[in-house]
Amino acid sequence: MILVDIGVWLAAVWGRHAHHRVTAEWFGAQADDLAFCRVTQMGLLRLLSNPAIMGDDAVDRSQAWRAFDQLWADERVLMADEPDGLDAVWRAISARDDKSHKLWADDYLAAFAQASDATLATLDRKLHSRYPSVRIETLLPLPAPRRQSLQQGRPLQTGCTVDITARIERKQVLGGLINEYRRTA
């Protein structure tokens, strides 16, 4: 079973998300069960209807439920119940001597994955190092270690040119819910 992080669900259903293509391709390649838990379900519904996140693409609550229902119709998608022992694992992971209020959901999902012997699929590159005891699949490449220039001790500079004038072709994926964008010649 793969416990899917809120950000992955959002990127998969929102065609204009920066990581939509990566998540759409990842979803298309999965054969395992893809799990929501109550926290990821509620998080997705909340983000889909939040104009601060979605801008003009924000939907009303009934539309957010329809987006969830379309995901739910996929035979691979399931709702995972809280596993036995979750409270103890969550407490062990989250009882840290820091004041970060932003880690509660990450701690919960990491504990959920660990307690249920699941893999946590995420876009968050920091989860690997934050939760070494949890099996995590990061859909984005992990950052390469910084290398120093031999001459001046400064980081190496790399350049990238992107053709922003290329035509974009849109393709509907997963029952019309997920949009995949491809560059065409």
**Domain extent listing, the chain:** 2-144
State the maximum Cα–Cα separation within the chain, in Å, rounded to a whole number: 60
Which range (30-39, 50-59, 137-146, 169-178) has the least confidence?
A: 169-178
Tokens 């270690």, residue located: 145
Joined tokens for residue 81: 């119940």
CA distance 11 to 1: 20
Element (H, E) at 178: strand 178-184
Structure tokens given for 176:
């019309």
CATH number, span 2-144: 3.40.50.1010
As a whole number of Å, the CA-based R_g of the chain is: 19
- Span 97-128, pLDDT tens digits: 888 888 999 999 999 999 999 999 999 999 98
Half-sphere exposure of 99 (CA within 13 A, CB side): 0
- What does the block give as tokens for 151? 């001459």
Residue recorded with tokens 């609550």 = 61
The predicted model gives 43-65 an average pLDDT of: 97
**Full-model pTM:** 0.76
